[in-house]
Amino acid sequence: MVKKVVRKRTAAVRKPQKKTSVFSVKFLRYILVACLLALVIGVGFHYRNGFAYYLGFKSNKITKANSEEKRISDVRNFQVLEKHEGKSIGIDVSEYQGNINWSDLGVLEKKYPLDFVFIRATVGKDRQDYQFKENWIGAKANKMIRGAYHYYRPNENSLEQAELFITTVRLQKGDLPPVLDIERLPKNQSITNLKIGLKRWLKAVEAHYGVKPIIYTGERYYDDFLKEEFSDYLFWIANYNFYREEIGADWLFWQFTEKATLPGIKGNVDVNIYNGDLKQLQFITVD
């Protein structure tokens, strides 16, 4: 007869869970607060000149109408301008700025003279900027070095776009080279075909004016699509990032903000830095 072996079940012994120490939680909170405080202090110290300028120079001039102008972007703008003391400063405008009072323009933040302006002339294959003629004449009358740019539409014929720009813009001695503004990717064609179209526009415009055009684009677009294949062209780069405070070594122009304010212009306007002084800027103008 076989005896059944009865095995006694051993009750599982649960280890008591350790209670989170109140002290450790408080300690982590203190560390987090201290890190945030250090970050705030660091940013404040880094932008101390900009804060001092805006708190001192503008604090007694704030009204309801312009209170929104006193913002962190202003501080960053001043910091960037201060770091590029001696370099040529300019703006770019289009119909979005409305009717500009050119006689009121001249100095940014009552300290930095405006040497140049880029003016949008054409869009795609069939549209002139509504304010181009007035802006083109106004810039010349205000003795600013002027340049014209074309907003390129990737899904339209490149040669028709070049022809529109050529028939619209008559460059004179002392004007800046023509500019091709490319910001968007095509919807119904490959990147390869986009580049072919861009090159056709650039070559047609260069053949007409006898000067190599400048290419305007964003920094990421430049890095991803244009930097290598269009390396024989000079670039005007847009980058508004807070961490970027100095112009790239290989950039001809840097559009560092779209939120500046100027007397003579209602609303915001873009500000640009040329990678050189006024004499160097004059050197690249049309003969």
| Helix intervals (H) in the chain | 22-46, 48-57, 72-83, 132-141, 158-168, 191-209, 219-221, 278-283
> Are the C-beta atoms of residues 129 and 120 closer than 8 Å to each other?
yes
pLDDT digit string (tens) for 83-111? 999 999 999 999 999 999 999 998 888 88
Q: Where are the domains of the chain?
A: 25-70, 87-283
Rounded Cα–Cα distance for residues 130 and 146 (Å):
17
Rounded Cα–Cα distance for residues 254 and 80 (Å):
11
pLDDT digit string (tens) for 8-19? 555 555 555 555
Q: Which CATH architecture has domain 87-283?
A: Alpha-Beta Barrel (3.20)
Whether the per-residue pLDDT at 24 is higher than 50: the answer is yes
Rounded Cα–Cα distance for residues 277 and 261 (Å):
23
- Percent of residues, the chain, with pLDDT higher than 90: 67
